[in-house]
Amino acid sequence: MNNLQNSRRDFLKNAGLIGAAAAFPNILSKFSGEKVNLACIGIGNQGGLDVMSLYNTGLANIVALCDVDMGAPQTLKVLEKFPDVPRFQDFRQMFDKMGSKIEAVSIGVPDHSHFPITMMALGLGKHVFVEKPMARTFNEIELMMAAARKHPKVVTQMGNQGHSEGNYFQFKAWKEAGIIKDVTSMTAHMNSPRRWHSWDPKITKFPAAESIPSSLDWDIWQGVVQPHEYQKDFVNGQWRCWFDYGLGALGDWGAHIMDTAHEFLDLGLPTEINMLRADGHNNFFYPMSSTIQFKFPERKNMPAMDITWYDGVNNIPPVPSNYGTNELDPNIPPAANGKIQPAKLNPGKIIYSKDLTFKGGSHGSTLSILGDAGKDLKLPEVQASPSNHYANFLKACMGQEKTRSPFEIAGPLSQVFSLGVMAQKLNTKLQFDRKTKQITNNSLANSLLVGAPPRKGWEQYYKI
């Protein structure tokens, strides 16, 4: 039997298992109407911002702090804010010692560590706020969704914060009112410099090992991933650069740009992922520039649709001739197709429907309609957000709201990114069967849906 069949069979077997963790109760906050007892895992950089954002809602009682590097400069702000809160370097020890006092967790750690922490938390019946993207591999995301279904009273939320702001409510209202309809294509773009853009794409091996900082638990940091020697370019945000640890620009920004279209246009999973450009492709870190086309089939009464993703500072997408002048270089003449190439373009999206073209930014930025085609439309009233993304999560823990980016919504979106990353890694076209959830034209790519086996000692998180 080949590895591909083995991986698929093992995945299906594991997805159907109900482990001992199912015996733990799934409960809403014991203190409904008061504060949620929250443990924060990952308290530096974005994780630290999440801690403070959750705390500042007034709805969270911080009961535990966990980070693999409690002596790092980026953790000091949170540690100084909560000097008396118990501290841990190992999330497993935190759950062992504090489990009965924890109702919910925030997970603001590198992409490759989202999965094991989330799976342990769900198995213990804890509500989960996890940063985007949900996980690193297609299979990990599949298992996270399955675990959430096994614990239906546990609240989940992925941290694409704009999904609780203006664009979410506007897109929903415009779709329901028929303003956004018959969409056939969308451009999603993020062309700012990335951390790896100064690196040498001709590398043939990982960078040389360095001394591990005394305050860092490198063993726990590596999590489920097969081991590497410590390198400063693996940690503190640099992890996003590497195929082994992060999902690059697509996983970082796609969740803030493609999220509303993916949900409200019911896109699900693509049938094709076409790698149209991969400047500086190598086997270790992300290309300098990528253009990736995702093809989605007809859905209900909606036509087939493409999303084309552009990243890289020299990979600016074409825009409509009436896009606007604020970010365009007037010295660049219009292309023959009526589109012009802007010299600078902030992260965002352009949505093309049969009759209208929409221009939008990232996160919660709302859409505008280009040209005169929409001037006589009666636009529906758009409700204001009743809660930001963090308050939405905590209120859901208390049974007062439903999360707007639960795993059932965020999971397929994150899987789109994982498929795009696989196309980037292999620099090839992938054909995907939405029913069987397999890649049909490339056995190596299909094996990457599951990926390498977990590091020894971390296998248990792949069983539900």
- What average pLDDT values come out for the chain (464 residues) when binned by 10 residues? 46 40 41 82 97 98 98 95 98 98 98 98 98 98 98 98 97 98 98 97 97 98 98 97 98 98 98 98 98 98 98 95 73 68 87 96 95 91 97 98 98 98 98 98 98 96 94
Contact of 114 with 107, CB cutoff 8 Å: yes
pTM, two decimals, is 0.92
User: What does the block give as tokens for 30?
Assistant: 């014991």
Q: Is residue 260 part of a domain?
A: yes
Owner of token pair 């853009």: 197
Same domain, 95 and 194: no
Answer whether 130's CB lies under 8 Å from 114's CB. Answer: yes
For residues 393 and 335, state if they share a domain.
no
Tokens of 23: 């015996």
- For residues 93 and 60, membership in a common domain is answered with yes
Under a CB-based contact definition with an 8 Å cutoff, are residues 103 and 397 in contact?
yes
Measure the CA–CA gap between 330 and 315, rounded to whole angstroms: 18
> Do 28 and 140 reside in the same domain of the chain?
yes
CB atoms within 10 A of CB 193: 10
Are both 50 and 134 inside the same structural domain?
yes
Structural domain count, the chain: 2
Alpha carbons within 13 angstroms on the beta-carbon side of residue 314 total 8
Contacts of 322 (CB under 8 A, 6+ apart): 370, 371
In a domain, 289, yes or no: yes
Same domain, 24 and 152: yes
Does 355 reside within a domain?
A: yes
Going from the C-alpha of 178 to that of each of 121, 166, 346, the distances in angstroms are 40, 18, 28
Do the Cβ atoms of 15 and 464 come closer than 8 Å?
yes
3-state SS assignment for residue 243: coil
The closest alpha carbon to 127, from 225, 261, 29, belongs to 29
Angle of CA points 360, 135, 247, to nearest 5°: 60
Q: Are residues 292 and 354 in the same domain?
A: yes
Phi, psi of 65 (to 5 degrees): -125, 135
Alpha-carbon span 320 to 356, nearest angstrom: 11
307-326 burial code (b ≥16 CB/10 A, e <16)? bbbbbbeebbbbbbeebeee
The pLDDT value recorded for residue 464 is 87
Boundary (domain end) residue, out of 317, 340, 369: 369
Residue 38 within any structural domain of the chain: yes
Pick the last residue of a domain from 316, 335, 369.
369
Query: Are 35 and 124 in the same domain?
Result: yes
Angle between helices 3-15 and 138-150 (to 10 degrees): 20
Among 314, 339, 369, the domain boundary falls at 369
Q: Are residues 189 and 308 in the same domain?
A: yes
The C-alpha atoms of residue 327 and residue 342 are separated, in whole angstroms, by 7
Whether 52 maps to a domain, the answer reads yes
323 shares its domain with 178: yes
Tell me how far CA of residue 417 lies from CA of 89, 250, 424, in angstroms: 30, 6, 10
Asked, for residue 252, whether it belongs to a domain, the answer is: yes
**Domain membership of residue 289 as a residue range:** 170-369
Q: Report the run of H or E that residue 170 belongs to, with start and end.
A: helix 166-176
Q: Same domain, yes or no, for 199 and 300?
A: yes
Span between the terminal Cα atoms of the chain, in Å? 25
Give a yes or no: residue 456 inside a domain. no
The answer to whether residue 440 sits within a structural domain is no
Q: What is the CATH classification number for the domain harbouring 133?
A: 3.40.50.720
* DSSP secondary structure string for all residues of 112-146: HHHHHHHHHHHHTT-EEEEESSS-SSHHHHHHHHH
Pairwise CA distance, residues 286 & 241, whole Å: 6
Residue 137 sits in the same domain as residue 197:
no
Determine the pLDDT at residue 374. Answer: 85
Are the CB atoms for 63 and 88 separated by under 8 Å? Answer: no
The confidence score (pLDDT) of residue 14 equals: 47
pLDDT for res 325: 60
For residue 236, the number of C-alpha atoms closer than 13 Å in the C-beta half-sphere is: 12
Question: What pLDDT, on the 0 to 100 scale, is given for residue 48?
Answer: 97
